[in-house]
Amino acid sequence: MTRTGSVLGELARFRRLVVQARRGTGMRPGDHRVPGRPQPSGVEPEAHAAYAPGDDLRHLDWNALARLDALLVRRFTAEREIVLHLLVDASASMGVPADDGKLAAATALATALAHVALWSGDAVRLALLGDAAGELPLVRDRGGALRVHRWLEAAAPGGAVALDTALTAWAGRHRTPGVAVVASDLLVEPAVVERGVGALRRRGDDVTLLHVVGPSDVDPGRQLSNGLFTDVETGATHPMKLTPQVRAAYARLLAEHWQALADVAHRLGARYVRVRSDTPAADVVLRDLASAGLVRQR
């Protein structure tokens, strides 16, 4: 099987899923015409209107005609297009250590979620945050999932990203709210995350923080026991020896950081999903993201 065929085969398992929005689809039901969907669409009657030439005769209310001797047409609540905003952290920390594959995990999950959205008739906006910063134009067609995959596959980690500034700028550029998924290792202060998520929430987004954790983030002793640690984003260095006491302190601080991030998400009404980078994307989508309510079966 070709690599393209393999990717399409992997993505096919997600075609019975849809993205679930708790808020922020961005338009009042019935207000607009959704590209690719006939109007009136939907199944819930919203109102009646006097028949006018050209109206679909299938929507005539025959009961109203019998009772009122009037030609009335049922208007329906329009199906609404959800815009899925996928914001992937591609800063240097997502590539360290290389064996952890944090950026690869984040891009695989973004590809899967894009496929879910596009296959169910929704739209996708995609951005990389970091030195590889860039945006993919709005994608609406089903075939766009492979285009998303190829674009993400070319991403390389590098540089630093101010998550609060990047998310605030995104919310300012794209004013229509939707479902926003931020995939990052979140190795920043919780206050920074709070400012960025707050900007998305003020825009009206349904936000999910997808916290990608590498095995070495959990156990730094997997890579080394002592030496000069260098912050790949700031260049700062720190001599360190991983004694049992240091490792215990690290584990405590890590647990506190995770809890602080979960508290930020809860306070702002966002989802918080923490996943290990060595977990297959299908397991994350079908188990963790479904449990969190981000996706559901059709």
- Domain spans of the chain? 11-16+81-297, 28-80
Residue partners of 69: CB distance under 8 A and separation at least 6: none
Is the per-residue pLDDT at 230 higher than 90? Answer: no
**Cross-strand bridge partners of residue 73:** 49, 60
Over residues 108-131, the pLDDT tens digits come to 999 999 999 999 999 999 999 988
So what's the architecture of 11-16+81-297 in CATH?
Answer: 3-Layer(aba) Sandwich (3.40)
**Cross-strand bridge partners of residue 295:** 19
Task: Count H helices and E strands in the chain, helices first.
Answer: 10, 12
Over residues 139-180, the pLDDT tens digits come to 999 888 889 999 999 999 999 999 999 999 999 999 889 999
pLDDT at residue 35, as a whole number: 35
DSSP codes, 135-165: EEEEE-STTHHHHHHHHHHT----S---HHH
Is the per-residue pLDDT at 55 higher than 80? Answer: no
**Cross-strand bridge partners of residue 128:** 88, 134
